[in-house]
Structure 1
Amino acid sequence: MSSGTTHIVGAGLAGLSAAVQLVRQGRKVVVYELARHAGGRCRSYFEPALGLTIDNGNHLLLSGNTSAIAFLDAIGGRHLLSSPERAEFTFYDFAADRRWVLRPNDGLPAWWIFSKSRRVPGTRASDYISLAKLLAGPETHTVAQRIDTENSVYRNLIYPVLLAALNCDPAEGSAKLASAVVRETLARGGRACRPLFAANGLGPALVDPAVNFIRMNGGDVRFDTPVRGINFANGRVAVLRLADGSADIVREDSVIVAVPGWVARTLIPDLTVPTEYRAIFNAHFKIAPPAGMAKITGVVNATTEWLFAFDDRLSVTVSAADRFNDADREPLARQIWSEVSKIAGLKDDLPPWQIVKERRATFAATPQQNRLRPPAATAWPNLFLAGDWTATGLPATIEGAIRSGNTAAKLATAASI
């Protein structure tokens, strides 16, 4: 085994997953993070306006996210997430004031589509069978070029699911990426679709245990340590320029850049990255949900898209939310609460609230932007990329971020042998 060090720029989930894989192999690792905390866009923090610890975004993990679950098992965080015994998803049509529950059976074949009590109301089994067209075709296709976007299954099930996964209008979204989401979840049966809930937040389950694991296994995680630039010499990375000095990269060393794509582009010459991004906003309301309320509710025909019920708050996620970037916060909070209170059967009085906007939450998962995603390997033999914006085969998700870190770690290990 080489005695070289792997230098990882960025302590988001991609960088953390790479570091975890490497320290498990006995590799020397140094992680450099600009912020005072790890996790990137997947973190928990104390929100003074609410007096609560919240996630900066409501990220959903499913039982079919195999890389994320393996990561949780490795760092000892799996027990901090719970899952229902079977896959059941509550939906609410705000315009029709109608609620239903989607109940896919655990395995294959997917006989649930033949049961009226398990599928979207007003749909037929043939509507679901026709969705198989999504799974094959040119990678330049949008979702709308493969399947009918007018039928009830699309409007009430596929649209809200893909809107959250792709973070762009699914009709213009990449059919290739949409297909990957469906293949790894719904197409595998309900056993792969069970939601995983982190009662205390994703930070305590995914991020904090990872940092502890890296450090306990000899890795070095350095916060408040921005990498300002990268110097190249003789066809390799030679120096990381840090704010407080430089880190020389010796021949046995490797570097993994695991920062957002627009940041990576400033560090690496001529790097091609996605250029279009979409916003996500989350609205958090400090109020206990009513007894028996579903932990997650998909909402159609409303501004609210997904409603999460935590023990101490109700939280809403709205994807592809650029139209709200400049919206006044209090009117937006009141608009969302008017929907949430109706769905939950609560009074219309606005409770304490907070809105968290991520203007560049993910790249826009269109066919054009998907083609701009770079692979993990680069033109330099000791430099690798990780992040949900790289070519993972998935949209910008937690699962994709963790897979990208795993891939970069494998390449870094192979390069050092």
Structure 2
Amino acid sequence: MPSGTMHIVGAGLAGLSAAVELTRRGKRVVVHELARHAGGRCRSYFEPALGLTIDNGNHLVLSGNESALAFLDVIGGRDLLTMADHAEFTFHDVKSGERWVLRPNDGPVPWWIFFRHRRVPGTRAADYARLGNLLRANASDTVTQKIDGSSEVYRKLLYPVLLAALNCDPKEGSARLAGAVVRGTLAKGGRACRPLFAPQGLGPALVDPAVAFVRKNGGEVRFDDAVRAVEFGEDRVRSIQFAESTLNLAPDDQVILAVPGWVARTLVPELTVPTDYRAIFNLHFKIAPPSGLPKIIGVINGTTEWLFAFDDRLSVTVSAADRFNEADREPLARQIWSEVAKIAGLNAPLPPWQIVKERRATFAATPEQDALRPSTETRWRNLFLAGDWTATGLPATIEGAIRSGDKAAKLAIAKGF
């Protein structure tokens, strides 16, 4: 039996997923994390400007996210999320003031499209049948090469959903990745589209239990442990260099690189990785939502794209947000608050707020960038890759990140670790 150690570089969800899978199988694992906390782009922290604990991003987990739910079951975090009874998604058009609720039925036969009160206003049942075009897309197809970009179902449903999922304008986005999103959720019926909410935050549900699980099962998670370089022999990683030391790997030692794509490229220059990354920003307002406000609202014709209602705050997410990277913060907060107040039915001045920007939140899920995503296996026999930027078959999502880590761990075991 191999007696080596798996060194996992990065304690985001991909790295934690790999560590959980390996430690639950009794493997020796050490996780090396640059930061002083785990979770990467999916973490919770105390924000002094608000006096609240917030998530750095408003990530969404759905009941059809099988890898994420399996991960939660293993680490014991499932009970920290609550699932909606049914798939119901509210949308609000800022320009017209119109509001509607999309209500897919639970089963896979989509009879909901035949009922006007369940579908998008101004659409017909036949419009939804055309979503099947996304399921048959080629690698080079963009969304609007497969779906009519002028249709109401695109403007009022696909555009806001795919903008968030792909983190780029769907007109340039990969139809194949969009099809993967549809295939894993709406095509399975409303039972796969129920949102899960984390009242205490995603960190306590997804991240903290994972770290605790790894440690409980004999693994190590080392924070403030920056990997500076990776040195190779002919066909394997030979050593890992840290700020003040070098770790020479034993013959049975393995490495999973679970850092962002651009970081992986600096450590392993030969890798091909996505090169176009787009920003996402989240704007948090410290104000209790009015009673009855839906927990999630998709916004049409506004700067706001998605509005999330928490017990102690209202939070806005804007994807593909590079255009706001240099924007003055307070005017932007005031502009978005004016929309949020109307959507929520609030007559209140600008409350305490904070903007959290991720300038390179995810790769832009275009056909060109999707083609640059590497596989889990590398030409070095003891090096594997994990991360939402690898070839998961999904856009850069929580589901994709967790899937990638699980895949890397299982592949390493299959290769003899």
TM-score band by shorter chain is over 0.9
1:311 is aligned to: 311
Secondary structure of the corresponding residue to residue 298 of structure 1: strand
1:342 — aligned with what? 342
* Structure 1 stretches lacking a partner, 5+ long: none
Aligned to 2:128: 128
Q: Which residue of 2 aligns with 1:85?
A: 85
Aligned match of 1:57 = 57
- What does residue 102 of structure 1 align with? 102
Matches within 5 A, 1:115-154: 115-154=115-154
Amino acid of the residue matched to residue 94 of structure 1?
Answer: V
Q: Which residue of 1 aligns with 2:373?
A: 373
The alignment partner of 1:361 has SS state of: strand
User: Which amino acid letter does the alignment assign opposite residue 138 of structure 2?
Assistant: P
Task: State the 1:197 CA deviation.
Answer: 0.2
Which amino acid in structure 2 is aligned with residue 304 of structure 1?
Answer: T
Which residue of the partner structure matches residue 276 of structure 1? 276
- The offset of 1:248, in angstroms, is 1.6
Q: What is the match of residue 20 of structure 1?
A: 20
Aligned position for 1:156: 156
Q: Secondary structure in 1 aligned to 2:87?
A: coil
Alpha-carbon separation, structure 2, partners of 1:181 and 1:36: 33
Per the alignment, residue 210 of structure 1 pairs with 210
Cα separation, 2, equivalents of 1:329 and 1:412: 46
Matched residue type, 1:18: A
Partner SS for 2:101: strand
Matches within 5 A, 1:32-47: 32-47=32-47
Which residue of 2 is the match for residue 178 of structure 1?
A: 178
- Where 1:172 maps in the other structure, the secondary structure is coil
Q: Which residue of 1 aligns with 2:169?
A: 169
Q: Deviations for 1:295-350, whole angstroms, at most 9, x for unmatched residues?
A: 00000010000000000000000000000000000000000100000000112400
CA shift at 1:273, angstroms?
A: 0.4
What letter corresponds to residue 5 of structure 1 in structure 2?
T
Q: How far apart, in 2, do the equivalents of 1:180 and 1:387 lie?
A: 17
1:60-105 C-alpha deviation (Å, 9 max, x unpaired): 0000000000000000000000011111011101111011110000
Partner of 2:8: 8
Partners in 1 of 2:306 and 2:409 — Cα distance? 34
Bigger mean CA deviation after superposition, 19-28 or 132-141: 132-141
Residues 252 and 416, structure 1, Cα contact 8 Å, conserved in 2: no
Give 3-state SS (helix, strand or coil) of 1:377's partner.
coil
Q: Does the Cα contact within 8 Å between 2:297 and 2:306 map onto a contact in 1?
A: yes
Q: In 1, Cα distance between the equivalents of 2:273 and 2:35?
A: 23
DSSP 3-state at the match of 1:413: helix
- Name the amino acid aligned to 1:343: I
2-structure distance, mates of 1:56, 1:68: 19
- Tell me the amino acid that sits aligned with residue 149 of structure 1: G
Distance 1:264 1:179 in 2: 28
Aligned equivalents of 2:243 and 2:137: distance in 1? 48
Determine the structure 1 residue equivalent to 2:327.
327
Does the residue aligned with 2:50 lie in a helix, a strand or coil? coil
Matched, 1:253 2:253: yes
SS of alignment partner, residue 40 of structure 2: coil
- Residue 69 in structure 1 maps to residue 60 in structure 2: no
CA distance in 2, matches of 1:41, 1:258: 13
In 2, Cα distance between equivalents of 1:408 and 1:40? 18
Secondary structure of residue in 1 paired with 2:415: helix
* Maintained 8 Å contact 2:83/2:194: yes
Describe the superposition over 1:22-77 as per-residue Cα deviations: whole angstroms up to 9, x where unpaired. Answer: 00100000000000000000000000000000000000000000000000000000
Q: CA deviation at 1:369?
A: 0.3
Q: Is the 8 A contact 1:88 1:101 kept in 2?
A: yes
Q: Deviations over 1:187-231 (max 9, x none)?
A: 000000000000010000000000000000000000000000011
Cα RMSD for the two superposed structures: 0.7
Structure 2: gaps of 5 or more residues: none
Whether the 8 Å contact between 2:137 and 2:179 is mirrored in structure 1 is no
The residue that corresponds to 2:239 in the other structure is 239
- Alignment length (residue pairs): 417
Which residue does 2:29 correspond to in 1?
Answer: 29
Give the Cα–Cα distance (whole angstroms) in 1 for the partners of residues 291 and 89 of structure 2: 17
Deviation at 1:244, TM superposition (A): 2.8
What letter matches 2:322 in structure 1?
A: D
Q: Give the AA of the match of 1:211.
A: V
Q: Which residue of 1 aligns with 2:295?
A: 295
The separation in 2 between residues aligned to 1:356 and 1:262, in whole angstroms, is: 21
Aligned counterpart, 1:267: 267
What corresponds to 2:356 in structure 1? 356
- Residues 113 and 125 in structure 2, CA contact (< 8 A), matched pair in contact too: yes
Identify the residue that residue 398 of structure 1 maps to in structure 2.
Answer: 398
Q: Which runs of 4+ in 1 moved over 3 A?
A: none
**Partner in structure 1 of residue 384 of structure 2:** 384
Letter of the 2:53 partner, please give it: T
